[in-house]
Structure 1
Amino acid sequence: MARDEINAFLGAGTNYQGKLNFQGAVRIDGNFKGEVVSDGTLVVGQEAVVEGQIRVGQLVLSGKLLGEVDAANKVVLHKTANLLGNIRTPVLVVEEGAVLEGQLVMGSLDTATPNLPSDTPAIDND
């Protein structure tokens, strides 16, 4: 099987809720809510809406994602991507026009820590 070959496809107009485990590559063009776990590649199409916890080898995002992303290898945000949540990854590629609202932690998932140190002062808006 070719490395970039899509193993499964959730087409436009589909709604899925639950936990998705896979090997290889999966493309989502519909709506997904839940958890994705894989060492492979998750491709989120331009019209897709994904909500939940994402832990994959690589994420290629063109649609909307709300949630936490842990990508062991790379995250690619295409110009139509809209990500509201936090990302942990060693490599981030962002096209002009992509939206990222959240925290970004660069480094391997083994060494990256998404939380601020406990001695970091809180911001007081008063």
Structure 2
Amino acid sequence: MKERGQQVDQNSESFTFLGKGTDFKGVVSFGGTIRIDGRVEGEIHTTGTLIVGEHAMIQGIVSVGVLMNSGKIHGTITAVEKIQILKPGVLVGDIRTPVIAIEEGSRFHGMCDMGAHLGSGERALSLDMAPGLVATAQ
């Protein structure tokens, strides 16, 4: 099993890279942005951005600010800001995020909870507030 990482300063923000051919098991915690093109099994935690490359495979728990996925993820994902699943990305598992974008050609299988933002002053939509939706749905 190989383990490696590179730190690169980009606009004074930390940028970490786990390249193709890298296998990592354990807990990854970092600040800033990380790009993964290898395999990770375990947990990934950051308040920054996680970029999952086309050849990457992640299995486990992911907790990030922003997720941009073009690879394969199987697990439980929480993104405070948003999740983007980009072609040819595959995400299997439960996700929690206020914003999700799924590009045509990518795949998602699991449960999605977008209620994380409802406590911030936004009103939840009830069926009483949208009678046209009820009529359409019946």
What are the superposed Cα offsets for residues 71-120 of structure 1, whole Å, 9 maximum, x if unpaired?
Answer: 00000000111011011000001100110010011132785xxxxxxxxx
Distance 1:101 1:73, change over 3 A: same
Q: Show the counterpart of 1:107.
A: 115
Bigger-Rg structure (1/2): 2
Q: State the distance in 2 between where 1:100 and 1:57 align.
A: 19
**Within the alignment, does 1:62 sit opposite 2:70 as a pair?**
yes
> Could you tell me the TM-score, scaled by structure 1's length?
0.82
5+ residue gaps, structure 1 = 112-126
Q: Which amino acid aligns with 1:83?
A: L
The CA distance in 1 between the partners of 2:32 and 2:98, in whole Å, is 20
- The aligned counterpart of 2:105 is 97
Question: Match of 1:61, as an amino acid?
Answer: N
Pairing 1:25–2:38 present: no
Q: 1:69 offset after TM fit, Å? A: 0.3
TM-score, with length taken from structure 2 = 0.75
1:2 is displaced (CA, Å) by 2.9
Write out per-residue CA displacement over residues 6-34 of structure 1, whole angstroms, 9 at most, x where no aligned residue: 61100000100100001110000000000
Name the CA distance, whole Å, in 2 between partners of 1:8 and 1:61: 16
Residues 88 and 109 in structure 1, CA contact (< 8 A), matched pair in contact too: no
Q: Percent of aligned pairs with the same residue?
A: 41
Q: Distance in 2 between matches of 1:42 and 1:14?
A: 16
Residues 110 and 22 (structure 1 numbering): CA distance in 2 closer, same or farther, change over 3 Å? farther
1 or 2, which has the higher helix percentage? Answer: 2
- Name the structure 1 match of 2:11: 2
Instruction: Tell me how large the CA RMSD over aligned residues is.
Output: 1.7
Residue in 2 that maps onto 1:53? 61
